[in-house]
Amino acid sequence: MKIGIFLTSKNNYSMLKEWYSLFDYSRFVVLNIDVGSNNKNLKEGRNFCNDNGIFFIQSSNSEMQLNFQEAVNFFLDHG
């Protein structure tokens, strides 16, 4: 059974980096949905996710229920 972890971020990539450093997530599918970071943080987040095998989606909407739907669709597409 695969386990997926869904996160949302907005200008808080230092927190994501700290979270990621606390455990080996290599056996999990990790998805980060950015819900409106500024350009500097968006670039930092995209690079961090790319470098660490975290899937990254830049959401066009910050409503949590829509972000959950994006995550559900993502995980369904990735088995």
Phi/psi for 71 (5° steps) reads -65, -45
pLDDT in tens, 49-79: 999 999 999 998 888 889 999 999 999 998 8
Tokens of 25: 């997530």
Residue-wise DSSP of 4-51: EEEEEESS-HHHHHHHHHTS--TTSEEEEEE-S--HHHHHHHHHHHHH
pTM: 0.90
Query: What's the CA gap between 39 and 22, in Å, rounded?
Result: 27
pLDDT in tens, 1-53: 688 999 999 999 999 999 999 999 989 999 999 999 999 999 999 999 999 99
Nearest to 54 by CA among 74, 36, 76: 74
